[in-house]
Amino acid sequence: MEKETEKISGKTSEKNGSGQLLRAIENPPEEFSPVPFWFFNDRPDEEKILRELKDYKEKGVDAIVLHPRIGIPEDIPYLSDAYFQAVRFIVKSADCLGMKIVLYDEGMYPSGSAHGMVAAQNPDYASKGISLSDKPEGGEVITRFPDGKYLIYGFTGGTIRGIHFGEDDGETGAPKSADILNPDAVDAFIRLTHDRYYEELKEYFGNTVVAFFTDEPCALGRNAAAYREWTPGLERELSEGGGSLPELEGLFTGKENRTTALYHRLVKKHLREIFYARLSRWCEAHDIALMGHPEASDDVEEELYFHIPGQDLILRRVSPETGGLLEADSVQAKLCADIARHLGRRRNANECFGVCGRRPYDWHFTGRDMVWYINWLTIRGVNLLVPHAFYYSTEGKRKEERPPDVGPANIWWPHYRRLSDYVKRLSFLMTDSVNGARIAVLCDNNRVPYREIACLYENQTEFHYLPIALLPECRVRDGRLCIREYAYDAVLDVRDFLAEDPGRKKMLSGVRVVRSAQELAGEPTGVEGEERRAYGFRSVLTDAACPGLRAVRLEKWGTVMYLLSNEGTENIRTEVTVSERGGLLLVDLWTGKAYRAASRQTENGTAFPLALRPCQVLLAAAEREEACAAAAEPAETAAVSEKTGRKRTVQAETERFPVQLLREPEDWTDRFVLTERMENRAVYEYRFQKEMPGQKGAERFLVRGEEMAECFCNGKSAGVSFFGPHVFEIGELLQNGENAVRLIFTGSAANVYEHAGLPYGIGVP
């Protein structure tokens, strides 16, 4: 099973030493590439396909999810010979370019119907469910309720979104969904889809083709809100489990009870065993991984069948405006990553950015939004990002289909290599590493605490979600609950799961169990000696409360590191103390360059000043003599300056961390003059005289402006900044005498595709 989680590129061999780690951060391996949904949504043109794939590769995108979408012409039916002619060319081209392909298992979604072919093969395979009716008609009567209403089992009329125009929700051509609680229907789906793909592409399986992506499977189909899931014989299982059929009326009235709770558990059990388990076994037998995601953010046991567990961050259900802690969907990234950790899965994925534009415009998705989401996901442990989406075509209505395009059709595409390298570095850090969590937070299917544990995030206190389904895999040693590499000093049971089953409580005998996260946030424990006492369960100490600061302790290749992220809206300026003693290296993850921190030794460890703007991340690595020597070895690469991304050749050496990076740069906003405005761009210029008597400095300045900004100093690029406030370094580009700094601001893609008229540039409201 473990090898299946390594198929995205192949497992990196175990290494030791900070020097090797620093070089890998500076030159992140291709296997940690973002793996975007590629919306295959128009007539295939081989020249265009090859041109796009080459462009992706040049931008550091080394893998894609081949996702058929609305816009494919009707004369190319799904899974037809004509369809596979295009698919074979795409996969062959990717193979030649050294790219990986993830196959998408539906046309279009949710998964399980083979674009309606399952129900077409046998009409009895169409989606079925139960509904509440005043009359005993329209299907099989399951029971009659005391109020005279009937529970009827019959066809839901559910559909999926198809791949041709006229096949969307509510349209007459929408394909019929399949009853994926019916094992025969699922077997038909696998024969029609998976077996056919293997027949056409078998020579690429296990090398270029690395996974199948299944997308939020749903037994009822879309547009079937009046129905609930059902499978023949479920009434008997409910009765045997102590349920009462009359109580099922609560499924429709919203009054949950013991029978509805049992019903939900049984339906999920059937879905896992009939659908997910079959797909998982098929993928394993064909040397690829099952990836994708279940329907809900707090689905737990479905993830156990994925070789690469996954979730999806869509519809701005989690957002920078609300902070990412108090939404019901805020559990998804941490939950998925922690399940992967406890299962020993090397990677976990998130389909991210889908329909995350700022209302009222679909295409109003900013660079700040994208980077905030990247940081939010990765610091929680996500290490395989699946951006939703890159469009093969934006012609006509295609640009209106679940926008925005977050790749080639957006304003940052010329500079996307900066973003892909940033993603690779973060994903690399979160793979094959062990973090510092010493608290296990118990959870179960669709019962995952979030508001109750927000204080742990806000006090830099790490934890892992631990599904109760995995308790049998745990062992108690010396008062700690142990599973794989992790040993928990405390178990947090805010939903009282242990009281539901005496066996669980007995299993945790000898382990500290608490009911409130407040008991653990910042509490001194002294578990590892007096020096550790000041930390309690915290990963780091700060000299003032920093509720927007997230901190994760990582150990990889023998090196201890701390990943620090500002998820808040205010600048963070504090002194951070870590328990490791000795020097620290601070690594800029936009460039991969490491600096030696200006640190000091205290009674609690090593302290250093931290300055983080909102949406900024910094890595601090414990320094060793071996690290300094190895890091000084030449390892040249085209890197990028901070988030501005200016290309330059750097060496993996540890210079002293520039003290000016801890100070707020001088604000030059009022110095720039607008010189040109056209086609969603605004150009500003500032000219000044400067005497350069000696060595050039590291001059930095700040500009407050909206949307993406590119900077040129004396005609040479000084980088790009994806969001404001924009900071640029121009010291190396300054000359004696007159200097000219030019800024080019580009407005939101919503201005291009929706004529939104959103402001951009300097001095906008």
Which CATH number belongs to the domain containing residue 466 in this structure? 3.40.50
How much is the mean pLDDT over the chain?
Answer: 92
The answer, yes or no, to whether residue 233 has pLDDT greater than 80, is yes
The answer on 720 and 687 residing in a single domain is: yes
614: domain CATH number?
2.60.40.1180
Helix (H, G, I), strand (E, B) or coil at 504: helix
Label residues 302-339 b or e (16+ Cβ within 10 Å = b).
bbbbbbbbbbbbbebbbbbeebbbebebbbbbbbbbbb
* Total tally of structural domains belonging to the chain: 3
Site of tokens 């979600």: 465
Q: What angle do CA 403, 409, 413 make, to 5 degrees?
A: 125
How far is residue 119 CA from its own chain's centroid? Answer: 33
Pair 500, 565 in one domain? no
pLDDT band at 623 (very low <50, low <70, confident <90, very high): confident
Ranges 12-21, 184-193, 467-476, 691-700: which has the least confidence: 12-21
Buried b (16+ CB within 10 A) or exposed e, 518-530: eebbbeeeeeeee
The whole-number pLDDT of residue 534 equals 73
633 and 561 belong to one structural domain: yes
- pLDDT at residue 9 is higher than 70: no
| pLDDT for 723 | 97
Task: Give the pLDDT score at 654.
Answer: 46
pLDDT over threshold 90, residue 18: no
570 and 587, same domain (yes or no): yes
Q: Which of 4-13, 237-246, 445-454, 635-644 is predicted with the least confidence, judged by mean pLDDT?
A: 635-644
Assigned domain for 518 exists:
yes
Report if residue 489 sits inside a domain.
yes
| pLDDT at residue 15 greater than cutoff 90 | no
Residues 466 and 562 in one domain: no
Contacts for 617 with CB less than 8 Å, ≥ 6 apart: 375, 379, 426, 563, 564, 565, 566, 589
pLDDT of the residue at 656:
55
Residue range 90-130, pLDDT digits in tens = 999 999 999 999 999 999 999 999 999 999 999 999 999 99
Confidence of residue 4 (pLDDT cuts 50, 70, 90): very low
* Domain's final residue, options 520, 538, 556: 538
Tokens of 450: 């979030």
Give the pLDDT score at 533: 58
Contact between 408 and 383 (Cβ < 8 Å):
no
In this structure, is residue 483 part of a structural domain? yes
725 and 751 housed in the same domain: yes
Same domain, 561 and 655: yes
Q: State which amino acid sits at residue 80.
A: S
Can you tell me the distance from the alpha carbon of 17 to that of 557, in angstroms, rounded to the nearest whole number? 6
> 419-443 burial, b for 16+ CB within 10 Å, e for fewer?
bbbbbbbbbbbbbbbebbbbbbbbb
Task: Judge if 545 and 645 occupy the same domain.
Answer: yes
pLDDT bracket for residue 155 (50, 70, 90): very high
Report the pLDDT averaged over residues 303-313. Answer: 98
Distances in Å between the Cα of 50 and the Cα atoms of 72, 82, 97, 500 are 18, 18, 9, 57
Residues 513 and 576 in one domain: no
Last residue of a domain, one of 608, 639, 661: 661
Q: What is the pLDDT of residue 350?
A: 99
More confident residue, 697 or 519: 519
State the angle between helix axes of 277-285 and 183-190 in degrees (0 to 180), rounded to the nearest 10: 30
pLDDT at 137 over 80: yes
Mean predicted confidence (pLDDT) in 457-467? 98
Distance CA 259, CA 267 (A): 12
Range of the domain at 686: 666-762
Question: Where does the pLDDT of residue 19 fall: very low under 50, low under 70, confident under 90, or very high at 90 and above?
Answer: confident
Span 304-332, average pLDDT: 95
What is the pLDDT, as a whole number, of residue 632?
36
Assess whether pLDDT exceeds 50 at residue 13. no
Q: 522, 538, 554 — which closes off a domain?
A: 538
Residue 12: helix, strand or coil by DSSP? Answer: coil
Is the same domain home to 543 and 635? yes
Tell whether 249 is covered by a domain: no
Are the C-beta atoms of 65 and 108 separated by less than 8 Å?
no
How far is the C-alpha of 133 from the C-alpha of 220, rounded, in Å?
A: 17
Using a 10 angstrom Cβ sphere, with 0-12 exposed, 13-18 middle and 19 or more buried, the burial of residue 293 is buried
Angle (deg, nearest 10), helices 367-379 and 416-429: 10
> Would you say residue 474 has pLDDT above 60?
yes
**Is residue 379 situated within a structural domain?**
no
pLDDT at residue 764, as a whole number: 83
The reply to whether 554 falls in a domain is yes
Q: What is the pLDDT of residue 645?
A: 44
Lowest-pLDDT choice from 207-216, 246-255, 529-538, 694-703: 529-538
Q: How confident is the model at residue 736 (pLDDT cuts 50, 70, 90)?
A: very high
Let me know whether 532 and 569 are in one domain: no
Looking at residue 696, what is its pLDDT? 64
Per-residue model confidence (pLDDT) at position 624: 65
- Radius of gyration (Cα) for the chain, nearest Å? 27
What's 731-759 look like in SS3?
A: HHHCCCEEEEEEEEEECCHHHHHCCCCCC
Residues whose CB is less than 8 angstroms from the CB of residue 417 and which lie 6 or more positions away in sequence, other chains included: 58, 59, 60, 640
Query: Does some domain include residue 66?
Result: no
Asked if residue 259 is part of any domain, the answer here is no
Q: At what angle do helices 46-58 and 81-97 cross, to 10 degrees?
A: 30
**CATH code, domain carrying 720:** 2.60.120.260
Axis crossing angle, helix 18-26 with helix 416-429, rounded to the nearest 10 = 150
| pLDDT-above-70 percentage for the chain | 90
Whether residues 649 and 688 share a domain: the answer is no
Mean pLDDT of the 20-41 span: 98
Does an H or E element contain 440, and which? strand 439-443
